[in-house]
Structure 1
Amino acid sequence: MFAHVDINNCYVSCETLFNPSLRGKVVVVLSNNDGCVIARSNEAKAIGLKMGDAEFLVRKTLKEHDAVIFSSNYALYADMSARMMNNLARYTYMLMVYSIDEAFLALGNIKAIDLEKHVATISRNVMRDTGLSITVGVGPTMALAKLANKASKKMGRNFLVLDTESKIDEVVRTFPIEDVWGVGRQYYEKLTELGVTTAEDFRRLKPDLVRQHMTVQGWRLHQELWGKPCNVIKDVADRSKGIESSQSFNTYQTELGQIEEATAMHAATVAVKLRQQKSMAMALTIYLRTNKHNVTHDQHYPSITVKVSFATNSTQELTRICVQALRAIYQPGYNYLKTGVRATGIIPAGEVQYNLFSNYDNSKQQALSGLMDDINARYGRGALRVAAEGYAKTWKMKQEFLSKQYTTNWRDIVVAK
């Protein structure tokens, strides 16, 4: 059996947790540069606000309903996510973090355990220990666990266990095909042409027909909806996708110095993520973007991929490489809106191939990076950073409604009176 867990209205829940007066109000969280709605309270959903709504288009509606608006506070959300994941790890022998607000748990073959009570305990204890409300879906495959989670929300329940064929049949009979995990827009259009509107309609298709129209991924989903596991929970990070950090500027940037600071910050973020998953990178891609939606500006989308001479996760080394690469692709005269860094060729830190003819001191870099991690863990993210990241950071993205970093900054810690 598998369990799928996610935080209800994650970003809004994190804000409400530290500001209980928000309960019952219309609350929204905006994306980078306060552009679009990416999280909504139930009250916000009730007045018709949709995911992805541009802030300037719904500004009047937000004002009419006295909505409380927040900029994305990723430091807070990431920390609360880590707390939830640590709690969930107590209830499984293998946990796969799927995103910042959701995870899969391997429950194994636990027929001797009352799954209803077990899942209720997980939900209750996570709320007690973190203050976050979660929904849990359980099924014999990862796809059915995800489906159970969504069905549970539609029913207004905290959890749903699909442990018998009759329970599975009852739920998939009316479950919309567009809400099934793995059915994107392209697959949805193909399935609509085949007359498929529910998960049950999809299950009735012949496996060969599914494979013909949806390749092996669709075939696996088809098998999983019949209770035959084709996906597995991985206890190690998926290194094939790479690690990326990027961000839009709060205004157009034309000066190389400002863009260098942003690139250095992204390189440092990638380095931290590599160390967290005990990995190293063998290649780095650095890119710049102008605003493709502004047709009055000249467009420029340069990028460069650099092979690292010695696999590393050192903040100093990655920052140096990225800044040098940026200088190679930057061209004056363009209004740049975004820069980013992507690490690829990721390998486990314990599998680095050493070079007999290289004098690169990896141990020194590791010690220095480890010291930075320890200091930042104690005094807050960014307390110690490389000089290339700058100090003023006038290029930072727009965050007019940013809340406090209650759990990661000593100055913002909640004081009990």
Structure 2
Amino acid sequence: MFAHVDINNCYVSCERLFNPTLENRVVVVLSNNDGCVIARSNEAKAIGIKMADAEFMVRQNLKENNAVIFSSNYALYADMSARLMNNLARYTYTLMVYSIDEAFLALGNLPGVDLEKHTAAISENVMRHTGLPITVGVGPTMALAKLANKAAKKQKKDYLVLDTGDKIDATVKDFPIEDVWGIGLQYYHKLIDFGVKTAQDFRELKADFVRQHMTVQGWRLHQELWGRPCNVVKDIAERSKGIESSQSFNSYQTELEPIEEAVSMHAATVALKLRQQQSMALTLTIYLRTNKHNVKHDQHYPSITVKVPFAANSTHQLTRVAVQAMRAIYQPGYNYLKCGVRATGIIPEGEVQFHLFTSYEHGREQQLAELMDTLNDRYGRGTLRLGSDSFERKWAMKQDYLSKQYTTNWKDILVAR
């Protein structure tokens, strides 16, 4: 058995947690540079605000409904996500973090546990300990657990347990095929052509037919909807095919220096994520992007993949490689809107292969990284950084509606009077 847990309207719920006056109001959270809607309260959904709506297109509607608008506060959301995952770990022997607001819990080897009571305890206690409203779906496979979660939301329940064949059959009978985990737009149109409208219709297809038309991934989903587990919970280091940090600029950048500063920040972020999961990277990909939607500007999408001399997670080492790579692909005369750094070839720490004549001071780099992490954990992220990562960050993304960092910045901590 598996449980799928996610936060209801995650970013909005995080904002409401520290500002109760937002309850029952129209609330939206915007994407990078305040471009489009990426989170909505139920009240915002009720007035027709859709996911990914451009802010300028719904501005008047939001104004007329006295909406509260927020820029994405990633420091707050990431910290609240960590608190959620720490709480969920109490209820399982294997926790797989799937995204910032959702996770799967393995529940199959918990002898003597009443699943219904255990699921209710997860729902109630997580809300009590974190203040975040969650929905829990339980099923014999990960796909059915995800389906149970969505079905619970449709039924306005806090949780739903599908632990018998009858319960599963009743739930998949009218469940829309487009809401099934793993059914993208391409598969949706293909299945509609086959007359498949519900999860039950999909289950009734023959397995060989599904594999022929939807490859092995579609076949696995088909098997999972019949209660036969095909997805495997793996360690995060094994799952990671890459770690990326990227961001759009608040305005077009034409000079190399501010772009180098942004690349330095992204390289440092990637290095930190690698250290947090006790991994190292063998290769880095650095890229630049112009605005493909602005046809008046010449377009340029350069990228380069370089091999790190030795697998590393050191901020100093990865930043040096990233900045040198950026200098190689940058060309003057273009209006760049975005840059990013992606680490691949990820291996566990301790498996770094050196050669006999290396002069790379691996131990020193690790000590320096550990010192930076210790100081930044104590005094706030970014307190200690490399000189190539400017403190001014004039290129940083637009955040006109940013809320306080209630849990990660001393000056923003709430004061009780």
**TM > 0.5 fold call:** yes
| Structure 1 residue 376 displacement after superposition | 1.0
User: Quick check: 1:105–1:233 contact (8 Å CA) kept in 2?
Assistant: no
Partner in structure 2 of residue 27 of structure 1: 27
Within-5 A mapping of 1:101-116: 101-110=101-110, 112-116=112-116
Question: Mean alpha-carbon deviation: is it higher for 55-64 or for 356-365?
Answer: 356-365
Partner in structure 1 of residue 405 of structure 2: 405
Partner in structure 2 of residue 226 of structure 1: 226
Cα offsets for 1:73-125 (capped at 9, x unmatched) = 00000000000000000111100000000000001144632111111111111
| Structure 1 residue 174 displacement after superposition | 0.3
Q: Does 1:289 align with 2:281?
A: no
Counterpart Cα distance in 2 of 1:330 and 1:172:
52
| Structure 1 residue 40 displacement after superposition | 0.5
Question: Mean alpha-carbon deviation: is it higher for 111-120 or for 66-75?
Answer: 111-120
- Report the TM-score, using the length of structure 1 for normalisation: 0.99
Partner in structure 2 of residue 275 of structure 1: 275
- Report the TM-score, using the length of structure 2 for normalisation: 0.99
Counterpart Cα distance in 2 of 1:274 and 1:18:
31
List gaps (5 residues or longer) in structure 1.
none
SS of the aligned residue for 1:398 comes to coil
Partner in structure 1 of residue 131 of structure 2: 131
Counterpart Cα distance in 2 of 1:33 and 1:172:
40
Cα offsets for 1:127-170 (capped at 9, x unmatched) = 11111011000000000000000000000000000000000000
Partner in structure 2 of residue 88 of structure 1: 88
Cα offsets for 1:223-262 (capped at 9, x unmatched) = 0000000011123334552000000000000011100000
List gaps (5 residues or longer) in structure 2.
none
Partner in structure 2 of residue 344 of structure 1: 344
Counterpart Cα distance in 1 of 2:133 and 2:240:
32
SS of the aligned residue for 1:345 comes to strand
Counterpart Cα distance in 2 of 1:245 and 1:294:
24
Cα offsets for 1:260-286 (capped at 9, x unmatched) = 000000000000000011100000000
Counterpart Cα distance in 1 of 2:341 and 2:212:
37
Within-5 A mapping of 1:54-69: 54-69=54-69
SS of the aligned residue for 2:53 comes to coil
Partner in structure 1 of residue 387 of structure 2: 387
Counterpart Cα distance in 1 of 2:239 and 2:147:
26
SS of the aligned residue for 1:358 comes to coil
Counterpart Cα distance in 1 of 2:193 and 2:212:
14
User: Quick check: 2:97–2:104 contact (8 Å CA) kept in 1?
Assistant: yes
Q: Report the residue type matching 1:155 in the other structure.
A: Q
Counterpart Cα distance in 2 of 1:73 and 1:238:
29
User: Quick check: 2:254–2:336 contact (8 Å CA) kept in 1?
Assistant: yes
Counterpart Cα distance in 2 of 1:348 and 1:279:
4
Partner in structure 1 of residue 244 of structure 2: 244
Q: Report the residue type matching 2:263 in the other structure.
A: T
User: Quick check: 2:126–2:132 contact (8 Å CA) kept in 1?
Assistant: yes
CA RMSD in angstroms comes to: 0.8
**CA distance 1:110–1:93, change in 2 (3 Å):** closer
User: Quick check: 2:16–2:23 contact (8 Å CA) kept in 1?
Assistant: yes
User: Quick check: 1:94–1:234 contact (8 Å CA) kept in 2?
Assistant: no
Counterpart Cα distance in 2 of 1:316 and 1:114:
51
User: Quick check: 1:287–1:301 contact (8 Å CA) kept in 2?
Assistant: yes
Paired residues, number: 417
Q: Report the residue type matching 1:164 in the other structure.
A: T
User: Quick check: 2:237–2:347 contact (8 Å CA) kept in 1?
Assistant: no
Q: Report the residue type matching 2:80 in the other structure.
A: M
Counterpart Cα distance in 2 of 1:93 and 1:111:
12
Counterpart Cα distance in 1 of 2:53 and 2:97:
27
Question: How much identity, in percent, do the aligned residues show?
Answer: 76
| Structure 1 residue 221 displacement after superposition | 0.3
Counterpart Cα distance in 2 of 1:242 and 1:376:
24
SS of the aligned residue for 2:350 comes to helix
Partner in structure 2 of residue 197 of structure 1: 197
